[in-house]
Amino acid sequence: MGVKMRGVKVMNKIRLSVLVIFCLLVFFVSLGRWDLWGPDEPRYAEVAREMLISGNFVLPHLNGEVYFDKPPLFFALIAFSARLWGEMSSFAVRFPSAFFATLTILLTYLLGKRLFNQRVGFFAGLILATNVEFWWLAHRANIDSTLTFFTTLSIAGFYLGLRYPGSRLFFYLIAFLSMGIGFLTKLQVAAIVPGLTLLTFMVATRKFSLLKDWKFYLTLPIFLFIVLAWIVSAYQLGGSQYILQLFYYKTSAMFFKEVSHPKPLFYYFEAFPAGFAPWFIFFPSALILAFQNPYRKQPEVIFLLGWFITNFFFFSLSKGKRELYLLPLYPAASLLVAFLWERYLSFDQDKLLQKLVRVPQYLLLGILTLTALALPLVVYKAPSPIASNYIFALPLSFLILGGVAFVFFNRFIYPERSFLGVTTIIGLFFLFTATFILPQINQSKSAKPFSQKVAALVKDSDKLSFYGLEGAEFNYYTGFIRVKRFYQVEDLKKFFLTREQVFCLIPKKTFNQIQGKTNIPLYPIISEKIGRQEILLITNCQ
């Protein structure tokens, strides 16, 4: 028995080490190889930069004005990362996202191990690391990777507290502490996702003992204290307007009104398959298995289904939708797919399991083969900066084809190798994308080169204005704070009616629309296409 336990512990350490190394390669190696891209990244980086300048870590500011959209924690993490790495670089700004994405993968492994066994946890960690949306957001200075860690930790804490009564106080403490920190990251959703998951599990299993447990009520004040302490501090600095804007107009109102990102009711039914690719191919099979006897009666399976399905429909009811809002559900989806694979490997003679795994497996191998064959041609035909990576696309294609062959020939004899082969292929593809493709796309997406030209010409933020754009990327890359923003032609006209030379950044399309309405001469100096729109720097003097 002792030898067996030692073997389990050794395998646990090996699998944890593999996940850490895999995340280091897939998330961190090329994290800073391209600039911050709008709309979110430079905006969040600028809020963090202004935090460092002002020393105010309670009330976020953007362009010198109170920033109502998000609470302060994520920006404080970026500021801390900048201090840690010695500069406000792309790597430092994205580091919190990659760091918490890695922690989420390790947490998913540990949760899978507790729910089922080591292999489920290990597979789930690899699946989570190699789906498109999670990988992409681990490379972005977006809040959602960080939020997902705290929602996952909170959910895990509640479930493990129910499962292990002897450690219940500790797990509830972790759950509410994580929920409170998550609330400072992205407000209500940090409580809603764990709350709906827990409620669904209690209703489905008819286990309402939690509501009578004094340990639950003893630890609940931890969450309340964290939230209220910040709200009081924010109210003292920002007043009732800040609280109302943050807690309703910028968050809750999105559920009831089409404030921003309006999408139809069934939007997530197409967005989730794309985001969870390529593993979504196995997700319908995972759901079919979960609803089969005896699995549908297992508390662990009920827990995962409640986590995913209830929250999926909750987010679908919201008027405002974005693909990344579903990220807190991705650990549950990964665990369900991992459970499917583990059952298949444990009972490979089961006819239903063979169909549930092998049919989507063949489909995935076909997609990977077509990708490998098309990749060199796609890169070669791409615009010139990307086409220069044609020479690197060829060996990657051969590696993918070799991996597909490896998976195909091991699918019966060593099926676990076929799973690991697929994750390796996907990991290599993501690494290639981050190392070669995204830095080339950066040439047309980055606002940095144009901002440097603007800063060299303007030199003083008082003489610069924005019209028809938020301009956070230009705040960040010029270093200017308190740049005037105009949305009415008359306000812009007043700004230009001065004897000294002043400037304005404006989309070219907008400039063409207002040019005849100002009745004053406006002179374009420089322009550059950034992403999909061309931006002009205009002035009142030739």
Q: Is residue 126 part of a domain?
A: yes
Average pLDDT rounded to a whole number, residues 345-370: 85
522 found inside a domain: yes
What's the pLDDT score for residue 278? 92
Domain count, the chain: 3
Flag whether pLDDT at 374 surpasses 80: no
pLDDT tens digits, one per residue of 46-99 = 999 999 999 999 999 999 999 988 999 999 999 999 999 999 999 999 999 999
Is 352 a domain residue? no
Q: Does any domain span residue 359?
A: no
In terms of domains, do 267 and 129 share one? yes
In a domain, 129, yes or no: yes
Is it the case that residue 520 has pLDDT exceeding 60? yes
336 and 430 within one domain: no
Do residues 456 and 425 share a domain?
no
Query: Do 45 and 82 have their domain in common?
Result: yes
Higher pLDDT, 215 or 372: 215
Asked if residue 386 has pLDDT above 60, the reply is no
Listed residues 346, 381, 411: the one ending a domain: 346
Q: How confident is the model at residue 396 (pLDDT cuts 50, 70, 90)?
A: low
Which of 399, 414, 445 marks a domain boundary? 445
What is the structure's pLDDT at 254? 60
Count of CB atoms within 10 A of residue 367's CB?
A: 14
**296 and 414 in a common domain:** no
Same domain, 269 and 378: no
Q: Which residues contact 61 (CB under 8 A, 6 or more apart)?
A: 47, 50, 51, 54, 67
What pLDDT, on a 0 to 100 scale, did the predictor assign at position 276?
Answer: 98
- pTM score above 0.85: yes
The pLDDT mean for the chain works out to 90
Q: Is residue 183 one of the residues assigned to a domain?
A: yes
* Listed range (117-121, 258-262, 325-329, 361-365) with the worst mean pLDDT: 258-262
Per the domain annotation, does 141 fall within a domain? yes
Q: 435-474 b/e with 16+ CB inside 10 Å = b? A: ebbbbbbbeebbbbebbeebbeebeebebbbbbbbebbbb
What domain range includes position 432? 365-445
End-to-end CA distance of the chain: 86
Asked which of 28-32, 207-211, 360-364, 450-454 is least confident by mean pLDDT, the reply is 207-211
- What's the half-sphere exposure (Cβ side, CA atoms, 13 Å) at 539? 13
CATH value at residue 489: 3.40.190
Reduced to 3 DSSP states, what percent helix, strand and coil does the chain have, rounded to the nearest 5? 75, 5, 20
How much is the pLDDT for 256?
A: 60
Query: Is residue 503 located within the same domain as residue 425?
Result: no
Judge if 111 and 216 occupy the same domain. yes
Identity (one letter) of the amino acid at 187? L
Residue 353 inside a domain? The answer is no
Residues 480 and 452 reside in one and the same domain: yes
Final residue belonging to a domain, choices 427, 445, 463: 445
319 and 375 both lie in a single domain? no
Cα–Cα distance measured from residue 498 to residue 494, given in angstroms and rounded to the nearest whole number = 8
One domain for residues 504 and 425: no
C-alpha to C-alpha distance for 440 and 443, rounded to whole angstroms: 6
Residues 336 and 313 in one domain: yes
